[in-house]
Amino acid sequence: MHPMTESGYVPSEKPGCGASHPHSPAADMIVTGANVWTGNPSQPEAQAVAILGGRIVAVGSDEAVLPWKGPRTRQIRAMGRLLLPGFNDAHVHFVDGGLHLDEVELKDADSAAQFERRVRFQAESTPHGEWILGGGWDELSWDRPVLPTRQIIDPLTQEFPVLLYRCDLHTALANSLALQLAGVNAQTPDPPGGEIVRDNQGLPTGILKDAAINIVAAVIPPLTPARRLRAVRRALEHAASLGVTSVQHMNPSEADISLYMELAERGELTTRISAVPLVTTWSERGKVGIRHGFGSPLLRLGALKGFTDGSLGSATAFFFEPYKDLPETCGLLTDEMQPRSAILQRMLEADRAGMQLCQHAIGDRAVALTLDLFEEIARANGPGDRRFRIEHAQHVGAADFPRFGPLDVIASVQPYHAIDDGRWAERRLGAERLQTSYPYKSFLQHGARLALGTDWYVAPLNPMLTLHAAATRATLDGRHPDGWVPGQMLTMAEAVSAYTMGSAYAEFQDREKGSIALGKLADMVLLNEDIFHMEPARVRDVTVEATIMGGRIVYQSPGAEPD
């Protein structure tokens, strides 16, 4: 008899062998004729995979795997196409992403005039009195890089409150009606960790930075259950179509987590979700014993998200030196960091309870301060498998790279930000600091682990765009076709590994997923071309033929041949 485990059938053959025992059960599905990149160092390549009970039970040649085929086994003939482990996006805002698919899209608005036209179009299709939400705008990519103001949208939106986020989510534009509903006026003080931008008369321009955004966001009516469900379903469909089989949702609300639980119970999750709520809520989970990696293969809790600083585009990322184009500021620490003793105590207690700490830090001083906090926590609470994470880790001082490895701090990075921000970052920082900005190769060279993600909806969810960005660093404006700071490029294998096994390790799930190996969850993506044997510039055009999650096809390209 072959052994059985709670997680499914596990064969007794050596890795890489198919089952040949005459009493072996038939697989639910087999994939044959594939070019399998397994991500498993002990068996890096294969031709076929067998799946039973949502788990991988054989990896090897067609001849080794075909004995698993029975009368009811579904066979996918891959016709030589590339089969990879499913992509695991280590940093998304999943419900917001689903909502954004139906909201005003300003990511590719290249001028204030186009910004205005998009808002006008959205107003024409918005029911009276509802909020107009969305955004993704980036004034630094406009012909005149000036922040928009409420005056350009007020005439179009007198009946609609408006809050439109900048592409980095650390700046937003509110119209006059939204400011009025929130009680924001000339006398409203700046909140700790935020700024209400004002004109020469002291009146709010509509631009809100970091904690100031919360003043207006607090008066937006909560999502109805039906609207939240529609957003999640849209996000799930979108993820499946792109080969994303796992996501790590940063800052979910309690309602988001509750809905995920409901969908998991009903078998309707087609993407695995790790929910990472704010560190300020740690005691609500810690008191009931939730620890890192807690949950089921479909839904996990146990990690917490905190914020050290803001963003580069909003000039709120916290640096040692002033901004080149704004010499009056070095950025901002968030309200969470004030006072430092409070966040240290909160993080100490959360770590002591066995929860994972994921801290947003973008500026070099913010990264250094976060590493200081992690060092103090490890020293105070003693040895343990913590897998600290710095989310974004965009700008790092040379002295801080060697600190990541010994502390096992994971750099959770988003390569698309590099090719997006690379259009204007030199104006903001100067050339010298750019050498250790978006420093993916430097992390690997110093022994740090990488986890790749997108920050969707801040950047597109499509993994092909992320891989293209990581391997080419070709900025979106076309000015750096050979790579912006090319020494920080990743090889395609490095990028895919960080997007699969790296992200799995970052959520304490590297034994469950991240590679195509015996006993692991059967999460895989079949691509229409081989991304390892083409010019990296072409990778962004590669598409998904099929997405398999837990041994079931959750997406199949309309043009794909039936199996």
Tens-place pLDDT, residues 231-256:
999 999 999 999 999 999 999 999 99
What per-residue confidence (pLDDT) applies to 47? 98
User: What does the pLDDT look like over 17-45, one tens digit per residue?
Assistant: 444 444 568 999 999 999 999 999 999 99
User: What does the pLDDT look like over 338-384, one tens digit per residue?
Assistant: 899 999 999 999 999 999 999 999 999 999 999 999 999 999 999 99
Question: By the 8 A CB rule, do 393 and 412 touch?
Answer: yes
What per-residue confidence (pLDDT) applies to 560? 65
User: pLDDT-derived band of residue 563, with 50, 70 and 90 as boundaries?
Assistant: low
217: left (phi over 0), alpha (psi -120 to 50) or beta: alpha
Which tokens in the block code for residue 332?
């901002």
- What is the three-state SS of 323-392? CCCCCCCCCCECHHHCCHHHHHHHHHHHHHCCCEEEEEECCHHHHHHHHHHHHHHHHHHCCCCCCCEEEE
Chain-centre distance for alpha carbon 111 = 27
User: What does the pLDDT look like over 46-90, one tens digit per residue?
Assistant: 999 999 999 999 999 999 999 999 999 999 999 999 999 999 999
What per-residue confidence (pLDDT) applies to 9? 33
Buried b (16+ CB within 10 A) or exposed e, 390-417: bbbbbbbbeebbebbeeebbbbbbbbbb
User: pLDDT-derived band of residue 288, with 50, 70 and 90 as boundaries?
Assistant: confident
Which option is the CATH number for 100-217: 3.50.50.60, 3.10.310.70, 3.40.50.300, 3.40.190.10? 3.10.310.70
User: pLDDT-derived band of residue 102, with 50, 70 and 90 as boundaries?
Assistant: confident
What per-residue confidence (pLDDT) applies to 13? 37
DSSP string, 39-97: --TTS-EESEEEEETTEEEEEE-HHHHGGG--TT-EEEE-TT-EEEEPEEEEEE-HHHH
User: What does the pLDDT look like over 152-198, one tens digit per residue?
Assistant: 999 999 999 999 999 888 999 999 999 999 999 999 999 999 999 99
Question: By the 8 A CB rule, do 453 and 230 touch?
Answer: no
**Residue 385 pLDDT > 60:** yes
Does residue 457 have a cis peptide bond before it, meaning omega lies within 30 degrees of 0? yes
Distance between CA atoms of residues 553 and 562, nearest Å: 12
What per-residue confidence (pLDDT) applies to 322? 97
Q: Residue 58: what are its φ and ψ, rounded to 5°?
A: -160, 140
| Percent of the chain with pLDDT strictly greater than 90 | 85
**Residue 309 pLDDT > 90:** yes
Question: By the 8 A CB rule, do 364 and 330 touch?
Answer: no
CATH of domain 1-85+515-563: 2.30.40.10
Where do we find the tokens 């918005």? 126
Which tokens in the block code for residue 449?
């682990």
Average of per-residue pLDDT values in the chain: 92
Domain locations in the chain? 1-85+515-563, 100-217
The two counts, helices (H) then strands (E), for the chain are 19, 28
**Residue 490 pLDDT > 50:** yes
